[in-house]
Amino acid sequence: MMTRRRIGSTLAYVLLAAVAVASLVPFVWLVRSALMRQQQIFVFPVEWIPDPVVWQNFVDAMTQQPFDRYFLNTLLLVALIVPGMLLSTSAAAFAFSRLSWPGRNAVFGLLMTGLMLPYAVTIIPVFIGWQALRQIDTYAPLALPAWFGAGGAFYIFMLRQFFLTIPNDLDSAVYVDGGSPLMVYRHVILPLNKGPLMLVAIFTVIGTWNDLLNPLIYLSTSEKFTVSLGLASFTGMFSSQWALLMAASTIVILPMIVLFAFGQRYLVDGIALTGVKG
């Protein structure tokens, strides 16, 4: 029995290691291409070690377009979107999990049906609405929806599940002392759910950083481009300069790798806590 278990564990580790290596190959290829000369990238057989190492590719990639401006624009959007998403989704999740009001379950079910609505269906009517408000080529269509929970239906569902695990006795203790639902929300629910809220923040940052479609629809002035849109325009202008394109792509994804490295504990804890019942 022990031998079978060891064989099974060994096979599982071998399979996981193979999947990990296969997942890392594209990233390794990206980095090695960013450090190579143009003519070395597509040679066969493949050369995995750059010789010589061309660090100048990163300098050239960053000077071909104002990526410093694109980074600042994206950071501004992150600073505008993340607080709004946290506030709107946590408040909605609190209302659906800790407050009793007529039609609560029906409204929540209706909200969940929004997850099945394809985003492409709403692009045109939403664009017409922002156009009528004369907000095209501004950050308003990108940032304001987050403050009203737009695009956060999944986060509302996830936070609601976490909020339901907190004993109702804590709410009752606040109400007995003369507290209000707002006090329960601020002093009980939010402090006890820092991990899930951090999870929402990380997902929102990654989604904002990688978002290409929305900036492509609403932004037309190059000075307002985000990093994803700047990288897309870089591809259009320098599609044949693969070394510079790979260098720019490496720089753009590095912040997300750093974010994941610092936030992976919250990701793991969030996954683990989904099966815990209060």
Euclidean distance between CA atoms 43 and 60, whole angstroms: 22
pLDDT number for residue 267: 65
22-65 residue pLDDT tens: 888 888 888 888 888 888 888 778 778 888 888 888 888 888 78
User: Over 60: is that where the pLDDT of 270 sits?
Assistant: no
Quickly state the pLDDT bin for 12 (edges 50, 70, 90).
confident
160-184: burial string, b at 16+ Cβ within 10 Å, e else: bebbeebeeeebeebeeeebeeeeb
Residues whose CB falls within 8 Å of the CB of residue 9, separated by 6 or more in sequence, listed in order: none
% residues pLDDT > 70 (the chain): 92
The model's pLDDT over 217-259, given as tens digits with 9 standing for 90+, comes to 999 898 899 998 888 877 665 556 788 888 888 888 888 888 8
Give the separation between CA 263 and CA 61, rounded to whole angstroms.
28
Q: How far apart are CA 130 and CA 137, in angstroms?
A: 10
pLDDT for 11 beyond 70: yes
Q: Which fold has domain 65-273?
A: MetI-like fold (1.10.3720)
> Which pLDDT score, from 0 to 100, does residue 85 have?
95
> Would you kindly state where each structural domain of the chain is located, as residue ranges?
1-54, 65-273
CA nearest to 157, candidates 212, 111, 220: 111
**Does the pLDDT at position 109 exceed 60?**
yes
Residue-wise pLDDT tens digits, 169-183: 888 888 888 888 999
Residue 273's pLDDT is 53
